[in-house]
Structure 1
Amino acid sequence: MGTKQAAKGPDPELRDRYDSDGGKAEVHEVIKVLENAGISCCVVGTSALRHFGAPRVTEDWSICVPSDKLEHAASLFQTGRLLEHYDPTSPRTVQPHSLYHTFPFFKRKGFFMWIVLVPSWDCQLECIPENFERGHAGVPYPRLEVFTQSLLDTSDFNLVDLVDGMDLTEEWGLANLRLEGTPDAAYIAKKNEAIRSSIPLTDTSCILELGTNPQERIRTWQEVVRSKSARIGLEFPKEFYATRFRLKGSQDPRIPNKEADDTFLRFLKSTDASSDDIVAVQRQ
């Protein structure tokens, strides 16, 4: 009798893989396509938190676009370079307080990388160049104060990670944020209605909605910044750590090393972007 041959596994060349830079260069290419189509946009969500020093892990890149240009942005994935490199895919599962399961999702072919297009109303963020800063891979993110205000106004629990990543202080918030009043009731009502319209309604589905009686912004801000030390785990000595993500005296996490500086300079030379629409964090 002949010897049975072992079954061949999947061709390694066909397996999804991780990009060496986490997808930064690729998302920059995606954003260039959007910008060339007249769509101002920036990265939000977990990838933005990483830019601001929070060591979060994600394979998704959330790109915030003007709400009235969401359909146009999604249509760009049906032609040209984006059609070649991306497939539309099923959205993520429903999460509390989130509409991400309703937004356009695209998977990069051959890679563990997804793009989700987020309308600006959901972020309470105005997608205009003066509200952006660029990381040293050329990727636009909201300015720190704009992103912080967005998380505060949308009652986003990720505000805690942003505060710890940047070691923000109560005084910084008083100087840079709008802390009067509560998050906009009309926004909460609109988002909750959109959530209800997107899911089967049950006796418990209301837990997916935003609370309708949010506390004042100033109180939320004070609670988050005043509890930085309490969030530091036992594995991080408090005499050395300012927050669970930052050593005392450590530099701004957006400031790159020399190699990244050189990469960013090459990016600037390869574009016609001016200092009016790019804000970069420079080495001190």
Structure 2
Amino acid sequence: MLYSQYMCSHILRSSQTLLQSEPHCASYHLAEPWDTPSSSLLHTWHRFKHNETDFCFVIVPDRDVHIVCEPPNFTRSLRGLPYPRLDVFIQSCLDSGDELQLCDVIDGTDLPEEWGEKNLELDGTNDVEWANEATRRSDEYKGGKYPNWSPFACNRRSRRAMWQSYVRTKRDRMDWTKPSHVFTTQYHIIDTPDSWTVLSDDY
């Protein structure tokens, strides 16, 4: 299982150093980096693995996910893990042009179109300047190990059009294994609470 922890860019290195020192190094070790590029910049950062389980995590600078790492932008899970507020996370998907994550979070939450109009900044386009800068950092990783790898949205796209496109087609992404009398989206079951409001036995 992989978990990404977002962190302010200026304390990233010190956090990585801390995890490699006592007492934390007794629980975690620095894992081998991925040998293939990811659809983000995760492959460019250190990956830490728990010594006794398959759990691993990557500490990612906030600039890589287009989220300002400030307390008001985060909430905590029922087990105390910090993660971005729903509106903050979805806004980052729109701003970065990450349509894959946008699709997943819409299908996982079954949000209505009106929710976006009330809670998101839908005017304007994705942040092309951010995408170009992320592409540059990807190109420079390990002296150009993955040349021309650019999974980022470098073409301008309307944020409102992205939101409407995915929220209006939730039902279209349900195949025969997800009958409409059971599911509202491919990931959301009728009359079930939102997953983050229920304490899981696993996480």
TM-score by length of 1: 0.65
Residue 166 (structure 2) pairs with residue 224 (structure 1): yes
Q: Deviations over 1:132-177 (max 9, x none)?
A: 1111111111111011111221222111111111101111011101
Deviates most, 245-254 or 110-119: 245-254
- 2:119 matched residue in structure 1: 176
Q: Which runs of 5+ in 2 are unaligned?
A: none
* Paired residues of 1:96 and 1:207 also in contact (CA < 8 A): no
Superposition CA RMSD, Å:
2.1
Larger radius of gyration: 1
Q: Residues 65, 138 of structure 1: CA spacing in aligned structure 2 closer, same or farther, 3 A cutoff?
A: same
Q: Would you say 1:140 and 2:96 are equivalent positions?
A: no
Give yes or no for contact 1:95–1:208 (8 Å, CA) kept in 2: no
Residue 101 (structure 2) pairs with residue 158 (structure 1):
yes
What SS is found at the alignment partner of 2:139? helix
Residues in 2 aligned to 1:207 and 1:105: alpha-carbon distance in whole angstroms: 20
Picking from 183, 187, 197, the partner of 1:245 is 187
Residues 94, 154 of structure 1: CA spacing in aligned structure 2 closer, same or farther, 3 A cutoff? Answer: farther
Give the direction of change, closer, same or farther, for the CA distance of 1:122–1:77 in structure 2 (3 Å limit).
same
TM-score, scaled to structure 2: 0.89
Can you give the 5+ residue segments of structure 1 that lack an aligned partner in the other structure?
A: 1-58, 261-284
Q: Quick one: distance in 2 between partners of 1:215 and 1:73?
A: 35
Q: Secondary structure at the match of 1:158?
A: helix
What is the percent sequence identity of the aligned residues? 31
Q: Is the 8 A contact 1:65 1:118 kept in 2?
A: yes
**In the aligned structure 2, how far is the partner of 1:165 from the partner of 1:200?**
38
**How far apart in 2 are the matches of 1:170 and 1:211?**
23
1:188 lines up with 2:131 in the alignment: yes
SS at 2:48 equivalent: strand
Q: How many residues align?
A: 200
